[in-house]
């Protein structure tokens, strides 16, 4: 690569890194004169990059939107994030985006270095999906996600600091088995060596992730990762847990109930549902909104909550204002 070409790539990378640059600062970063900088800006424009100049003593340069899409420069973490983002609609069949996603992904992966392709492959192989949408509470670090995927692929034990829902932190030593993608959240399904049990961890609550270099033998009795995480989200950590029979086949129940809202089990031509919440009224409202008949098996307090809800709805309906007849006096 010639010196000029290398300098142009550095200049392009800087212009893409932030909204605007002072000309003097750009020249200092590139270790060139103002005249050379202006010449390089002209070359970028000739290559199709819309670089806008602001005149005056405090003027500068910025890369703006143009009529065409010029090539972009990405670092390794950005390339992993973009490639994985393109894999998502291709793999999960987001309507309308399958073909463009596949084509764009093919173009990117064709030119990626082998080490970056290995990071993306590790992340893809380590991931399963649970279908739902959650808001993302914390910023997900791509490096953490990839470190977990690599450790799972090796496989080797991990140490990290974990912050639970109440903000308490603890150090964990685990054997990573699977990444589970649930909407906009990621979970690590792993064997917790200190607690000697299976656990799931929100990846955005993990920090100081360190592979230990110690290999482990995968356990043959490992439960299904997606099912384990879904059950934990549906009933695992709540104050109240209910068992309800839905009077419909399980295929119909699955269309009505998110896999992270409740656990469904086939029961002949009916469906057994296990659901949890910190508020029985919430479960009552959830059941009342379902378009199928149901029978509460337990707890008895849930039956009382449903009856209370029904009474409130009757009272509200009785107080509803009846529309006036056309032509009647107000």
Number of domains in the chain: 4
pLDDT at 322 over 80: no
Query: Within this chain, do residues 267 and 208 fall inside the same structural domain, yes or no?
Result: no
In angstroms, rounded to a whole number, what is the distance separating the alpha carbons of residues 318 and 85? Answer: 51
The rounded percent of the chain whose pLDDT value lies above 90 is: 36
Query: Within this chain, do residues 149 and 225 fall inside the same structural domain, yes or no?
Result: yes
Query: SS3 for 192?
Result: strand
The band of 272, judged by pLDDT with boundaries at 50, 70 and 90, is very high
Whether residue 139 contacts residue 204, with contact meaning beta carbons closer than 8 Å, is answered with yes
Could you say which of 231, 248, 270 is where a domain stops?
Answer: 231
Residue 285: what pLDDT? 94
In a domain, 68, yes or no: no
Query: Within this chain, do residues 161 and 222 fall inside the same structural domain, yes or no?
Result: yes
Token reading at 180: 């589970």
Nearest in space to 44 (alpha carbons), one of 70, 80, 83, 81: 70
In a domain, 137, yes or no: no
Query: Within this chain, do residues 195 and 265 fall inside the same structural domain, yes or no?
Result: no
In a domain, 56, yes or no: yes
Residue 57: what pLDDT? 67
Q: What are the angstrom distances between the C-alpha of 263 and each of 129, 237, 275?
A: 16, 14, 7
Query: Within this chain, do residues 165 and 244 fall inside the same structural domain, yes or no?
Result: no
In a domain, 204, yes or no: yes
Mean pLDDT of 305-317: 91
Could you say which of 231, 249, 268 is where a domain stops?
Answer: 231
Token reading at 116: 């970056």
Residue 244: what pLDDT? 95
Query: Within this chain, do residues 59 and 81 fall inside the same structural domain, yes or no?
Result: no
Residue 323: what pLDDT? 58
State which residues form the domain around 104: 76-125
In angstroms, rounded to a whole number, what is the distance separating the alpha carbons of residues 14 and 203? Answer: 31
In a domain, 289, yes or no: yes
Query: Within this chain, do residues 159 and 213 fall inside the same structural domain, yes or no?
Result: yes
- Model's pTM, two decimal places? 0.53
Of 63-72, 135-144, 213-222, least confident by mean pLDDT is 135-144
Residue 88: what pLDDT? 62
In a domain, 131, yes or no: no
Residue 90: what pLDDT? 42
pLDDT at 264 over 60: yes
List the CATH number of the domain containing 9.
Answer: 1.10.10.10
Query: Within this chain, do residues 302 and 275 fall inside the same structural domain, yes or no?
Result: yes
Query: Within this chain, do residues 257 and 286 fall inside the same structural domain, yes or no?
Result: yes
In angstroms, rounded to a whole number, what is the distance separating the alpha carbons of residues 223 and 162? Answer: 22
In a domain, 9, yes or no: yes
Query: Within this chain, do residues 18 and 48 fall inside the same structural domain, yes or no?
Result: yes
Query: Within this chain, do residues 119 and 193 fall inside the same structural domain, yes or no?
Result: no
How far from each other are the two terminal CA atoms of the chain, in whole angstroms? 86
Query: Within this chain, do residues 146 and 227 fall inside the same structural domain, yes or no?
Result: yes
List the CATH number of the domain containing 225.
Answer: 2.30.30
DSSP 99-122: HHHHHHHHHHHHHS-HHHHHHHHH
pLDDT in tens, 27-59: 999 999 989 999 999 988 888 888 998 876 667
In a domain, 286, yes or no: yes
Could you say which of 213, 231, 249 is where a domain stops?
Answer: 231
Mean pLDDT of 59-71: 73
Of 114-128, 134-148, 284-298, 300-314, least confident by mean pLDDT is 134-148
Helical pair 23-30 and 3-17, crossing angle rounded to 10 deg = 140
Mean pLDDT of 262-280: 90
User: Beta partners for 210?
Assistant: 159
List the CATH number of the domain containing 245.
Answer: 3.30.70
């Amino acid at each position: 690569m010639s010196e000029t070409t290398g300098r142009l790539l550095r200049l392009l990378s800087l212009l893409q890194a932030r909204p605007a640059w002072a000309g003097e600062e750009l020249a200092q970063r590139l270790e060139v004169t103002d005249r050379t900088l202006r010449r390089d800006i002209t070359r970028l424009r000739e290559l199709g990059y819309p670089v806008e100049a602001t005149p005056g003593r405090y003027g500068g340069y910025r890369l703006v939107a143009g009529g065409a899409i010029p090539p972009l420069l990405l670092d390794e973490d950005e390339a992993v994030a973009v490639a994985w983002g393109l894999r998502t609609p291709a793999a999960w069949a987001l309507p309308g985006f399958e073909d463009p996603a596949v084509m764009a992904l093919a173009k990117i992966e064709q030119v990626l270095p082998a080490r970056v392709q290995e990071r993306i492959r590790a992340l893809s192989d380590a991931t399963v999906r649970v279908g739902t949408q959650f808001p993302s509470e914390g910023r997900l670090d791509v490096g953490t996600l990839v470190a977990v995927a690599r450790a799972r692929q090796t496989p080797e034990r991990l140490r990290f600091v974990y912050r639970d829902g109440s903000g308490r932190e603890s150090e964990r030593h685990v054997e990573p088995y699977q990444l589970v993608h649930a909407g906009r959240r990621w979970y690590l399904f792993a064997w917790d060596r200190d607690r000697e049990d299976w656990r799931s961890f929100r990846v955005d609550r993990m920090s100081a992730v360190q592979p230990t270099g110690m290999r482990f033998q995968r356990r043959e009795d490992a439960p299904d990762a997606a099912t384990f995480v879904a059950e934990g989200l549906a009933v695992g950590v709540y104050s109240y847990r209910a068992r309800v029979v839905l009077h419909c086949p399980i295929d119909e129940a699955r269309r009505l109930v998110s896999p992270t809202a409740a656990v469904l089990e086939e029961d002949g031509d009916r469906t057994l549902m296990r659901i949890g919440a910190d508020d029985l009224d919430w479960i009552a409202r959830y059941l009342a909104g379902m378009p199928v008949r149901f029978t509460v098996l337990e707890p008895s307090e849930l039956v009382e909550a449903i009856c209370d809800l029904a009474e409130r709805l009757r009272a509200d309906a009785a107080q509803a204002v009846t529309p006036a007849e056309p032509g009647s006096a107000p």
